[in-house]
Structure 1
Amino acid sequence: MRDFDFPGRSAVHGLKGAVATSHPYASTAALDVLRSGGNAVDAAIAAVATLCVVEPHMTGIGGDCFVLYAPNGGGEVIGLNGSGRAPAATDLEALRAQGLETIDKTSPHAVTIPGAIDAWCRLHQRYGSRDFAELLAPAIGYARDGYPVHARVANDWRGLTDKLRRNEAAAALFLPNGAAPREGDLHRQPALADTLERIAKGGRAAFYEGAVAEAMTAALTALGGVHAPEDFAGFESEWVTPISSSYRGYDVHQIPPNNQGVVALAMLNILEGYDLAALAPLSPERTHLEIEAGRLAYDMRNRYLADLEALEVPLDRLLSKDWAAEMRAKIDPERAFPEIPDLGLTTSDTVYLTVVDRDLNTVSFINSLFHGFGSGILSPETGVVFQSRGASFRLDPAHPNRLAPNKRPMHTIMPGLVTRNGRTEIGYGVMGGDYQPFGHARLLPNLIDYGLDPQAGLDCPRVFALGKRVEVEKSLPAETLLGLQQRGHSLTLAEPALGGGQCIRIDRDRGVLTAGSDPRKDGCALGY
């Protein structure tokens, strides 16, 4: 129960619908759709389009998305992979011949074909009920007429000034008068408004073919990219069967690889072997087990994870309880691993949202440019900022996640959805690049083992093991920090706070939807 003597947020309750996003304008857009009779898919599309305008560093139509959808609150969960592929002319050996060992996140080689718009259109075509143009209208209005920059957005934007200055077009749009907008400043994106209007009228073809695709291709090839109009025209998102694992009687669903959702499931499989409920939620004992489970699961990710066709270890093996038991046996509850490899982990930028409507249709939706303002490359005629997802590829020819033509890179963004006894119970996600599996493995035990509501579960202080070094939020109790240090953990302060998230839980016994939105962002949960 919330302590009202301290600052905080209450969980939001709804009867006919609930939404949770990382920005109040997106939450309002989604709730307006629900109240006017639209369904959860309609509301999610309105929300994500709005986020692509008002959180321009976090997401955009030049990025990717993934969706989990449970119709009518049942046990069936449908997945949509809206992640882009490398151009057909991609040449790993050509990049290696230039002496490159990694793909620079601001390079045109980091730009995979944007997958979000195709995925939005396919999702709407199959499950939407409202006119597509109606759903994009709020985003178009904010792009053309302007939107006041909110606090967290302004804070992040300011830290990306140097990156934006590397691209003349991006600097002109996103550094008006030579500086990032301050909180409360009005910002406009008229070229993006024009592109969104084209999409509203012409659907996916208006983005992947014709003038918009030609302008995007030209912007990338001018910088040395190997993108071609055919790469855009031929792109298709993919309906996929989610992967899942059980956790204390709940079924946790994720998108299969190239997505890193398997990492969260592996962490939960390891943690399921401990009686977490017997440990205090913020205790050093619980936090230590989470750190060690994460180190093992991320090491697995770095060794094996790639696009599904490129996996060299059976997915069933990585999801198995037997593998989790083997990993759990390596954990000493009293000591950190003595030899820990550098996992090469970082946080990055994403938006996540979830919606439940009156029929309990549940959408779990994530959309991203990867790093802040993605690659930092802007197509000025279209207002499209390109993602940097290709930076996740390896240039090691022996690695399963190696760069290759028309291949999807290992992907960090991961929506989550939980069912129990054949019924949907939780739509949730925690953003933050590589951090996300840690966020999932923190939030779900908060809800399931400790009985916290979605808001309290998201409020809970977080940690992130990047290897030997562990980032901790300043809100963790002193006794927890001391207990971790006594176990051999090297702690540093997380700056900024770790990730962000949203969550909606369906309480069928009381007929109520309970929603929360992460206080680390500007957003909010709303219900009616």
Structure 2
Amino acid sequence: MTRSHHDIDNWTLTTPAARSQNGVVASQHRVAAQAGAAQLDAGGNAIDAIVATAYALNAVEPWMSGLGGSGFMVIWLAKEQHAVALDFQGTLAGDTRLEDYPVDPNLPATPMGFPGVVDNANIEGYRSITVPGAVAGLDHALSRFGSRSRNDVMTPAIQLAERGLQVDWFTSLQIGVCARTLARDPMSASIYLPGGHPATPESRLRIPNLAGTLREIAAGGAETFYRGALAERIVSDLQAGGSRISREDFAACEVFEYAPMVAEHRGYTLYTPGEVSGGLRQREMLAHTFEAIPTPPESPTPATWVAYAEALEACWRQHKIRTGVLPPRAGPVDGENGACTSSMSSVDAEGNMVALTYTLLNRFGSGVTLPSTGMLMNDSVSYFDPRPGYPTTMAGGKRVNSSNMCPTVAVRDGEARFSVGASGGNLIMPAVTQGAALMMDFGMNLEEAVHHPRLDASYRGSVRVDPRFEPATLKRLGERFELEIAQQLVFPKLYACVSAVSRDPETGECLGLNDPTQTICGGAAPARFDLDPLG
């Protein structure tokens, strides 16, 4: 059976790549990418660039990630010929109680596939918030592997926060989609819903206290955020709103630095954060693909896409069994459309390369903006199962141990060739892995791989395909799967939002670009960060 939804919009989608021999940055917001690329221009490295980009997103794309979020980073250190993974995922309050999250069978499952709970307490409001790891992770990366000062790296983010969020139609769309959740929180409503309605294009939103919070972090780093004066204000706001998070929970936040998970494919070594990320599914998908296609043809064929879809279905089924979403012999369960997270990549002239993905989980996270800091907070409690007895069951102090995020760095012959990541919940790993596979299996360059049609499969009962595929491919897939033919759109995001960079070690040319459906995305080459032309 085939369901067709491809007659909605009429678009021809392309996106330009940033090019430079001195490095590039790719981000879901081009201004944030420019903030990162300015670090390269000032003599910094790829780690400086990625941290600057991540902080800048607080001011230009606050609905996807930020100080109140958590995530993963993979770093390739060119001189040391060594890869490092950072896990700065969130943790539940030490006093977390299952009775705070009674299952409501009338509500849909969370984005992770777990049951909904009464009053959406695991996805909206103060009880949905975990201790955020973002500041710990970014500060750790910068102090361990960066070359510039925290103040230098964070200056563009502070400038952007002082300027305020310039609203365009895309911003209005993001706010409108989440208006009901934002309306629940007085602070968020006052910022994003002026007069009770989503902010309109050509207006400017001020996020109270955000610039000051960024300045405090620039001065005191993770220490003040988790154990100092800033931590005291954050926890005070959280507890006033009904969260069980304590000062002790904040003080206990830590970053895990470790050797990444490795996957070998067609002469490449791929590094990901491992089993708690989408990395294990990526490795399983590539292993299935290699078995099905030991020697790839010159270009993808219908059989290629059947093999990719079958591999994705198999690895997703195993993942759902491991996390308790499925019993071992159960059939598919419905999935969701992509809606969350921010991914970015950077590379410098020396060949250092970084892939970073971090998130508030859902768009606008919990919908809560903390009054004293301007921080929009995550809803990462929904990473956990409210039912007892599962691997991901809620428990006091438990760390997020199952994520879709899949930042990937690919190395060949001792040189980092590309890094790729994506946003979009369950859609992340299929998008990242297909892009990587197209480059490794068929020798596509980054532009070709990012612009190529993709499919999405996550063992949910159907396979979604882009109508730009050749008719023979659609026919072959339709003989094997129930198809949902759906074009790539700005909204809803049906195939994830990919961000990636590449570097040719022979010429030194670096490329950076993003998913063509996201109008605010962009790559940036090294240049001075000048706020004036931005308004």
TM (norm. structure 1) is 0.87
Distance of aligned partners of 1:93 and 1:163 in 2 relative to their CA distance in 1, 3 Å threshold: closer
Match of 1:209 in 2: 227
Amino acid corresponding to residue 249 of structure 1 in structure 2: G
- Whether 1:491 and 2:484 are equivalent positions in the alignment is yes
Distance 1:95 1:360, change over 3 A: same
Partner of residue 252, structure 1? 270
* Matches of 1:152 and 1:265, distance apart in 2: 35
1:113 to 116, 131, 154: 131
For each residue in 1:157-187, what CA deviation from the matched residue of structure 2 results, as whole angstroms up to 9, or x when unmatched? 3211122112121111112232223344322
The 5 A counterparts of 1:40-439 are 40-72=46-78, 75-92=81-98, 95-96=101-102, 101-102=115-116, 104-275=122-293, 277-278=296-297, 280-281=299-300, 283-305=301-323, 340-342=331-333, 344-409=335-400, 410-439=402-431
Q: Which residue of 2 aligns with 1:526?
A: 524
Give the secondary structure class of the aligned counterpart of 2:291. Answer: coil
Shift of 1:223: 3.9
Q: Name which of structure 1's ranges 338-347 and 147-156 shifts more when overlaid on structure 2.
A: 338-347
Shift of 1:114: 0.4
Amino acid at match of 1:277: P
Which residue number in structure 1 is paired with residue 529 of structure 2?
none
| Greater shift in the superposed pair: 338-347 or 163-172 | 338-347
Check the 8 A contact 2:351/2:415 in 1, yes or no: no
Would the aligned equivalents of 1:378 and 1:385 in 2 still touch at CA under 8 Å?
yes
Q: Secondary structure at the match of 1:84?
A: coil
SS at match of 1:402: coil
Residues 266-293 of structure 1, C-alpha deviation per residue, up to 9 Å, x if partnerless?
A: 1111111233732853x54333322222
* Stretches of structure 2 lacking an aligned partner (at least 5 in a row): 1-11, 108-114, 527-535
In 1, distance between residues paired with 2:271 and 2:19? 24
- 1:188: how far off? 2.2
Find the aligned partners of 1:82 and 1:434 in 2 and give their Cα distance: 20
**2:461 is matched with which residue?**
468
Q: Secondary structure at the match of 2:38?
A: helix
- Secondary structure (helix, strand or coil) at the match of 1:246 reads strand
Paired residue secondary structure (2:209): helix
Please, which of 498, 502, 505 is the counterpart of residue 501 of structure 1?
498
How far apart are the structure 2 equivalents of 1:147 and 1:225?
A: 28
My pick for the range that moved more, 390-399 or 220-229, is: 220-229
Q: For 1:484, what is the secondary structure of its paired residue? A: helix
Q: Distance in 2 between matches of 1:9 and 1:170?
A: 33
Q: Aligned match of 1:36 in 38, 42, 57?
A: 42
- Provide the rounded CA distance (Å) in 2 between the counterparts of 1:399 and 1:436: 24
Is 122-131 or 209-218 further displaced after alignment? 209-218
Q: Within 2, Cα distance between the matches of 1:291 and 1:340?
A: 16
Task: Please give the per-residue CA displacement for 1:296-329, whole angstroms capped at 9, x wherever unaligned.
Answer: 11121122259xxxxxxxxxxxxxxxxxxxxxxx
**Tell me, what secondary structure is at the counterpart of 2:418?**
strand
- How far apart, in 1, do the equivalents of 2:287 and 2:426 lie? 19
Distance 1:527 1:220 in 2: 39
Q: Displacement, 1:383?
A: 0.7
Partner of 1:329: none
Q: Give the deviation of 1:500 after TM superposition.
A: 1.1
Partner AA of 2:454 in structure 1: R
1:265 to 1:19, Cα distance in 2 relative to 1, 3 A: same
Q: Secondary structure at the match of 1:449?
A: helix
Q: Is the alpha carbon distance of 1:116 and 1:339 closer, same or farther for their aligned partners in structure 2, counting shifts above 3 Å?
A: closer
> SS at 1:13's partner residue?
strand
Distance 1:69 1:19, change over 3 A: same
C-alpha separation in 1, matches of 2:502 and 2:36: 17
Answer yes or no: is the 8 Å Cα contact 1:58–1:372 preserved in 2: yes
CA distance in 1, matches of 2:404, 2:284: 15
Q: In the TM superposition, what is the alpha-carbon distance from 1:368 to its structure 2 partner?
A: 0.9
The 1:72/1:415 distance shift into structure 2, 3 A limit, reads same
Following superposition of structure 1 onto structure 2, how do residues 3-14 of structure 1 map, counting pairs within 5 Å? 8-14=14-20
CA contact (8 A) 2:103 2:386 kept: no
Does the Cα contact within 8 Å between 2:30 and 2:524 map onto a contact in 1?
Answer: no
Map of 1:316 onto structure 2: none
Post-superposition offset of 1:58: 0.9
- What number of residue pairs does the alignment pair up? 491
Considering only aligned residues, what root-mean-square deviation do their CA atoms show, in Å?
2.5
Contact residue 415 and residue 505 of structure 2 kept, 8 A: no
Which sits farther off after the overlay, 98-107 or 259-268? 98-107
Range 44-53 or range 485-494, more displaced = 485-494
- In structure 2, do the counterparts of structure 1 residues 475 and 192 end up closer, same or farther at CA, with 3 Å as the change threshold? farther
1:499 shift after superposition: 1.3
- Give the C-alpha shift of residue 479 in structure 1: 4.6
- What is the one-letter code of the residue matched to 1:212? L
| Equivalent-residue separation in structure 2 for 1:496 and 1:516 (angstroms) | 17
In structure 2, relative to structure 1, the CA distance for the partners of 1:9 and 1:347 (3 Å cut) is: closer
1:247-280 CA-to-partner distances (Å, cap 9, x unmatched) read 1111111102322221111111111123373285
Q: Percent identity?
A: 26
* One-letter code aligned to 2:272: Q
Shift in Å at residue 359 of structure 1?
1.6
Contact 1:73 1:423 in 2 (8 A): no
Contact 1:63 / 1:368 at 8 angstroms: preserved in 2?
A: yes
Match of residue 317 from structure 1: none
Match of 1:312 in 2: none
Relative distance call for 1:449 and 1:223 in structure 2 (3 A) is same
Which stretch shows the higher mean deviation, 267-276 or 90-99? Answer: 90-99
Is contact 1:88–1:231 with CA below 8 Å preserved after alignment? yes
Instruction: Give how far 1:49 is off.
Output: 0.6
Q: TM-score, normalised by structure 2?
A: 0.85
Q: Which moved more, 1:348-357 or 1:471-480?
A: 471-480
**Aligned residues of 1:352 and 1:365 also touching (Cα < 8 A):** yes
